[in-house]
Amino acid sequence: MPPTVQLLSIKPDKPQLGKNNFDTERLLASLASFTDLQRLYIEKSLWARLPHLLRKRDALYALIVKEEDRDYLCELFIEKPKRVLGCAIDLGSTTIAFYLYDFLSTNLVEEHSIYNPQIELGEDILTRLHLARKEENLKYIREITLKAINQELKRFSSEDIYYCSICGNTAMTHFLLGLPVNYLIVEPYVPVIKWIPPLKARDLGLELHPEARVFVFPLAGTYFGGDLVAGLYEVELHKKEGFSFYLDVGTNAEVVLGNRDFLLACAGAAGPALEGGIFECGTRAMPGAIEHFTIKVKDKKIGYKTIGGEKPLGFCGSAVITLMAETFLEGILTPEGKLKRELFPERIREIDGERILLLVDEVETANKKPIYIKESEIKSFLRSKGAMYTILSLLCEKIGLTFKDIESFYVAGSFGNHIDVASAVILGMLPEEALSKSYALGNSAGRGALKFLKEANFEEIRRIVDSITYIELNVEPRFMELLTGALIIPHVNMENFPWVQKLIEERRGCFSAS
């Protein structure tokens, strides 16, 4: 497959008496052996420059950008450029990831991320959506997003960027395009557009080369955005013979089950709890955030590890999972999510009539405030972990599979990078089969956008989107039935968790999970 952006060395014929073809015809003739001329369009910005360029040098360099139905001659060079760049962008709710790629060297030049400036309006995506119902707020959200992106791109000599691929969830895509979100947040939750037609960077507000093109990944559903499509494109779930799960936990928990025949997908609001977003002492993954806990009741100790070794500020999502697993194995947390004060009175206390587990005393923290978790927050977490397991169970049930039939569990995003799979299994968030079959993918959405940047396989993207059947959980009666059993740690059906039962026996010296 030809690359998305090609730099071709050409030698157009010189005009002469008897062969005084139009300049554009001679230019196209020199390109005939490289590309399908029926698809090729010469950008208008080249028309006025073309006569002078053709007569200045015998050889020129032509830069062609590939789109789905047409190719564009975007630039002509007298000298071979030192680099021809493309940029893949993963427009996340919390962070914006950039991947700068050189089409000439075929090297990844740089990869980094920044915080999404929309955070100033609310860490919760729903808060931003409600604000964006007003046209002036939507305009402001779009402006600060584009400003942040353009500031970063300027670091790379943005005029050398000729192609940009962008993926984002449904809300982020609407914000980027300036589309109204009013009907995304009310039943039946309908997005504006599924397939985004080819765009010029300048029409979108991106400050790249004047003729740069932009591909925005299509949306597959209200809670199934272009970031999920990009992730599936990267992991190639749609090409596998056996059945696999693809899980991406962010603002929502988005799950896909399938193989080369079909993809079954659904999403639920498990994300905020698993990211640490619902906890009073929760924080984003940043220096000072606790990322891991260890608890030894007999030693009356709670150990922790922070990102960067800094003084603790709070705990992030990955720490919540190890914390819940540790408290459960130690017996101070019941399967129903209640703290047993009599087993750890030094740490289990009451604030405003509610039990809390004191994790870090105020003398140890960076802001001199204690870090703790409330019993009500634990209950919220159990609903989120239960939702995750229930989504997995429901999708399997829909096509007559069990977890034993699953070949792989692909866990995407920062959640996948930091999650302790064993702890997730102990809690009943993931089935025991995931212990030996799970794979952390990191930012698969960003890498999917980068993959598309390199090869622009439009046909493959259409194949993925057309393969997806989306299950609406809010109209699925079995969801609530299955969720009830999953609200217990690890699950009401303990026979499905023999490894966890053995751990409980070893840790507590008993058989009961109660």
Which pLDDT tens digit goes with each residue over 230-276?
A: 999 999 999 999 999 999 876 667 899 999 999 999 887 655 555 55
Q: Within a 10 A sphere around the Cβ of 137, how many other Cβ atoms?
A: 15
Nearest-CA neighbor of 208 among 146, 145, 158?
158
pLDDT at residue number 131? 97
Is there a domain that residue 230 lies in? no
Average pLDDT over residues 293-321: 90
| Residue 236 CB contacts under 8 Å (≥ 6 apart), including other chains | none
Under the banding of pLDDT at 50, 70 and 90, the label for residue 396 is very high
> 0.85 exceeded by the pTM?
yes
Q: In whole numbers, what is the pLDDT of the chain averaged over residues?
A: 91
Are 208 and 158 spatial neighbours (Cβ–Cβ below 8 Å)? yes
Question: What is the CATH number for 421?
Answer: 3.30.420
pLDDT at residue number 513? 46
Q: Clarify whether residues 288 and 259 are in a common domain.
A: no
Comparing 451 with 17, the larger pLDDT belongs to 451
Are 259 and 241 spatial neighbours (Cβ–Cβ below 8 Å)? yes
pLDDT at residue number 202? 94
What are the angstrom distances between the C-alpha of 234 and each of 184, 306, 412, 446, 450? 27, 31, 11, 9, 9
**Positive or negative CA dihedral for 326, 329, 335, 339?**
negative
What are 29-85's pLDDT values in tens digits?
999 988 889 899 999 999 999 999 988 888 999 999 999 999 999 999 999 999 999
Question: What is the CATH number for 51?
Answer: 3.10.20.880
Are 279 and 375 spatial neighbours (Cβ–Cβ below 8 Å)? no
> In the predicted model, is pLDDT for residue 281 greater than 80?
yes
Comparing 15 with 64, the larger pLDDT belongs to 64
| Residue 81 CB contacts under 8 Å (≥ 6 apart), including other chains | 7, 61, 63, 104, 160
pLDDT at residue number 155? 87
Is there a domain that residue 293 lies in? yes
Q: Clarify whether residues 209 and 89 are in a common domain.
A: yes
The helix (H) or strand (E) run that includes residue 67 is none
**Looking at the 3D structure of the chain, how many domains does it have?**
4
pLDDT at residue number 298? 86
Are 327 and 333 spatial neighbours (Cβ–Cβ below 8 Å)? yes
Is there a domain that residue 299 lies in? yes
Is there a domain that residue 226 lies in? no
Structure tokens at 295: 């608890």
Is there a domain that residue 513 lies in? no
CA dist., res. 419 & res. 424, Å (int): 8
Q: Mapping DSSP to helix (H, G, I), strand (E, B) and coil, where does residue 86 land?
A: strand
Q: Clarify whether residues 388 and 370 are in a common domain.
A: no
pLDDT at residue number 123? 78
Nearest-CA neighbor of 307 among 324, 327, 283, 326?
283
Residue 353 gets the label, from left (phi > 0), alpha (psi -120 to 50) or beta, of left
Q: Which of 77, 98, 113 is the last residue of a domain?
A: 77
Under the banding of pLDDT at 50, 70 and 90, the label for residue 512 is very low
Under the banding of pLDDT at 50, 70 and 90, the label for residue 283 is confident
Q: Clarify whether residues 468 and 483 are in a common domain.
A: yes
Is there a domain that residue 445 lies in? yes
Q: Clarify whether residues 385 and 465 are in a common domain.
A: yes
pLDDT at residue number 137? 98
Is there a domain that residue 439 lies in? yes
For 463, the domain range is: 237-272+381-501
Q: Clarify whether residues 268 and 389 are in a common domain.
A: yes
Average pLDDT over residues 343-361: 93
Q: Which of 77, 93, 120 is the last residue of a domain?
A: 77
Average pLDDT over residues 332-348: 94
Pairing mode, strands 408-412 and 244-249: parallel
Average pLDDT over residues 426-441: 95
pLDDT at residue number 511? 41
Q: Clarify whether residues 212 and 257 are in a common domain.
A: no
Q: Which of 324, 345, 375 is the last residue of a domain?
A: 375
pLDDT at residue number 1? 54
| Residue 349 CB contacts under 8 Å (≥ 6 apart), including other chains | 341, 355, 356, 358
